[in-house]
Structure 1
Amino acid sequence: MNVNSVSSTFLLIAFFVYLLAFLLFVLSITGKRWSNREPEEHTKRWGFIAFIVSVIGFACQVTFFFTRWAEGGHIPTSNMYEFMTFLGMMIMFAFLIVYLIYRTPVLGIFALPIGFIMIAYASVFPSEIQPLIPALQSYWLKIHVTTAAAGEAFFAVGFAGGLMYLLRAVDFKGTTKQDKREQRGIELTLFFILMLIAFIGSIFTFNGSGYKVTFTKQVTVTDAQGQQQTNTQNETYVLPPIVQPYGMQAVEMRPFLGMTEPLFTAPSWMEGASAGRKLNTVIWSVLGGLILYGLARLVARKPLGAAIGPVVKGMDPEDLDEISYRAIAIGYPIFTLGALIFAMIWAQEAWGRFWGWDPKEVWALITWLFYAVFLHLRLSKGWQGKKSAWLSVIGFIVVMFTLVGVNLVIAGLHSYAGV
């Protein structure tokens, strides 16, 4: 058995151990009503067991990280598969740190899913170990990417704390305009989570069934000697193509639900790497998210926020507010170092300039400014409670757009991350 297969096995083990830890955290909260023990004793005991299981899962993922590093000869953060698995690992690390501070089992119910969803999301990308492209052959890869991901991981825990606070504080029976607006905001946030789950599920389903459609076009390039060469460019879909890439034609398309050809073509201005395929994936994710949300509403027979809210009913809102703020306060200086300072130093070495308005650079700056405003409003203007919680939720949505969405729209110097 080679090291790469060992690393993949440890990642798979970590994923299922995280799932088990999540279920144990759920049991620590919901099982207390059926336990013969005192509710507080039951929560503490099963919360501790769930924490230990989480540590075991984290140890398995750390093993995956270092065995893959040994096989590839470079730190495994060079493409989307490696970066998202590393981000999932750092989210778990951030969760463990925050849990040790506050000892709040309900945090595991909301933070753990973010971690293993990231791992599942990573799994839709090619997992083969790839050689480093020249732009990444630098020791700054270790410093920049790891610290940036660590900062984003604490933002994820802050998001979990903020969402928990909103589920605890929002009046789901209220009928005022503010109540209705807050209820819609919670439902939209939960819909985004379900949309990500639908994306992962659809990729695994169609990939498992062997569904593939290949689009192709002829591209003429001129070499250094001025001679023209015609190359064939291919784009492979694993989801039924609602959208075909701009300027490309399908070699052969398997019918799906009566659809024998794409419904429309991606716009020409979408220049990101594999933009047509990614737009197609976004459409499928939205459709899948709507289906999952509809099914969840049918099962719950009420808005999802109102259905989940009782899980955090016994929590002190001030504790949840503090968890969200502290996680972001820890993550912000780490993110500042990794995503801005170290990134600019590396950019100077690699491209001869500290700043170049590359899309990823711009959105990293937007993320940094957003959390700077969050901390300013929190510390100087007294924005606590719901205002702070909403900012923590919106902030992590900005982080996710920086990680995923930017590659969809505009090509840039960081487009290799979408491979």
Structure 2
Amino acid sequence: MNYFSLSSDALLLAFILLLIAIIPFGYATKMRHAASWKIALVLTWAAFILQIIYFVCRWIAVGHAPVSNMYEFMTFFGIMLIGAILLISSLYKQWSIGFFAIPITLIILGYGSVFSNEASPLIPSLQSHWLAIHVITVAASSAILSVAFITSLIYLLKTAKASKWLEFVLFQLVVVIGFILISTLCHLFFSPRAIEFTNKVGKKEVATYMLPIITSNHADVGLLALSNSIDAKKFNTILWAFLVGGILYFIIRVVARKTLCEILQPFTLKMDLKLLDEISHRAILIGFPLFSLGGLFFAMIWAQMAWGRYWGWDPKEVWALITWLFYAALLHLRLTKEWEGERTAWLAIIGFGLIVFNQVFVNLVIAGLHSYA
């Protein structure tokens, strides 16, 4: 049996089912239609089972826990998020959360699909059982903390306060969608182009562009030549993401004649604010100690085994500590200062931003020992 092919097919089918599930989730959330709830839940559970099949089959195919690169991590992050949503929603009987959670999951899965899904041999430092223990725990905790982001987003949409900042948060999600769209289209129709340039230390380098070239470090290539102190390839990718995301956002605004906040607010009218606040708090209470275990304790044990030290101020380690301190402060303010409602909702959204920054930007942009991802 070709487990590698089976895993890819299972993940694709799961993505399609989740995409379809948005329709009955939306109708059930707005109209409180019981039959639509059942259809949405059946589709979501089927997608979750297919995601588990993907994970198991890929593990068999590659011979190790499939969490060693950005494609595998983001895909597993999506699996954990769906599992967390199904668990928490069933405990609180708030299935409406799924209408907002599934699009976030699809964005995560879509972002992961931008990276190569090819299996490659593990570098020496990753050849350890701690790969599965550390990364799976971090992904699970990040998924649970993401539930707090989703319920906080719903909370702020319902209260309709600070809409400009909330609109900015939603715009960033559209930018990510724009990046996924342009990357997918260029993968299908655009041939990669290699550009040779001289870096800031005077050595020749080759940058392979997967997107049409707007910026480069070569004076005769692209619309804008940048100095060698700036990574033109990465800046080119950021420009394309904001360009396509901005166009997509503009189209949505023109067609709907509403802001994204105004489009989504009707789906929050029948949700209880106190319950949303409680779910957010409970998610952080569960996710924070789990992140402490996986993101700090297990990470330090593995670092000692792989690199001979528990802590080395690597960018990934620093941002994991910053994320941990932020959520510790959030819980402190909640428990001692009795912060709740809108203030803690914004903090939960900022915390999710730190998670995304740590898992994506630090891995891809900031050079460090975790750059292999």
Unaligned runs of 5+ in 1: 33-38, 172-181, 220-230, 251-259
Mapping of residues 8-27 of structure 1, within 5 Å: 8-27=8-27
Deviations 1:17-57 (A, max 9, x none): 11122222112123x2xxxxxx4xx2x43223312221110
Unmatched 5+ stretches in structure 2: none
1:2 aligns with 2:2: yes
Deviates most, 49-58 or 73-82: 49-58
In the aligned structure 2, how far is the partner of 1:238 from the partner of 1:360? Answer: 26
> Displacement, 1:234?
3.3
8 Å Cα contact 2:193/2:210 also seen in 1? yes
Q: 1:261 aligns with which of 213, 222, 225?
A: 222
Task: State which of 65, 77, 82 in structure 1 corresponds to 2:72.
Answer: 82
CA RMSD of aligned residues (A): 2.0
Which structure has the greater CA radius of gyration? Answer: 1
Identity of aligned residues (%): 47
Query: Aligned partners of 1:313 and 1:14: how far apart in 2?
Result: 29
Corresponding residue for 1:391? Answer: 347
**Partner SS, residue 196 of structure 2:** strand
How far, CA to CA, are the matches of 2:122 and 2:71 in structure 1? 14
Q: Which residue of 1 aligns with 2:206?
A: 234
* Equivalent residue number for residue 226 of structure 1: none
Mapped contact 1:278–1:408 kept (Cα < 8 A) = no
SS in 1 for 2:372: helix
Give the aligned length.
Answer: 371
- Alpha-carbon distance between aligned partners in 1 of 2:78 and 2:362, rounded to the nearest angstrom: 20
CA gap 1:286/1:218 in 2 versus in 1, 3 angstroms: closer
Matches within 5 A, 1:305-384: 305-384=261-340
Question: In structure 1, what is the Cα distance between the partners aligned to 2:77 and 2:227?
Answer: 30
Correspondent of 1:130 among 116, 120, 145:
120
1:3-402 → structure 2 map (5 Å cutoff): 3-30=3-30, 32=31, 39=32, 42=33, 44-171=34-161, 182-217=162-197, 233-244=205-216, 246=217, 261-265=222-226, 267-268=228-229, 275-402=231-358
Q: Give the whole-Å Cα distance in 2 for the aligned partners of 1:65 and 1:14.
A: 12
Letter in 2 for 1:312: T
- State the 1:217 CA deviation: 5.0
Normalised by the length of structure 2, the TM-score is: 0.94
SS in 2 for 1:234: strand
Cα deviation, 1:145-199, whole Å, max 9, x if unaligned, reads 000010100111111000000000124xxxxxxxxxx111111000011011000
Residue-by-residue CA offset, 1:236-288 (whole Å, 9 max, x unaligned): 212112222x5x688xxxxxxxxx624122652x5xxxx54222111111122
CA distance in 1, matches of 2:198, 2:166: 47
Shift of 1:207: 1.3
- Residue 216 of structure 1 aligns to a residue whose secondary structure is strand
| Aligned partners of 2:190 and 2:211 also within 8 Å | no
**Structure 1 counterpart SS, 2:222:** coil
TM-score, normalised via structure 1 length: 0.84
Q: Secondary structure at the match of 1:415?
A: coil
Q: State the one-letter code of the partner of 1:369.
A: L
Opposite residue 10 of structure 1, the aligned amino acid is: A
1:28·1:105 contact (CA, 8 Å) conserved in 2?
no
Mapped to 2, the partners of 1:263 and 1:149 lie a distance apart of 38
Q: 1:215–1:249: 8 Å Cα contact kept in structure 2?
A: no
Q: Secondary structure of the equivalent of 1:416? A: coil
Q: Check whether the contact 1:266–1:279 (CA below 8 A) recurs between aligned residues.
A: no
Q: Secondary structure in 2 aligned to 1:214?
A: strand
Residue 334 of structure 1 aligns to which amino acid in structure 2? L
Structure 1 runs (4+) greater than 3 angstroms displaced: 231-234
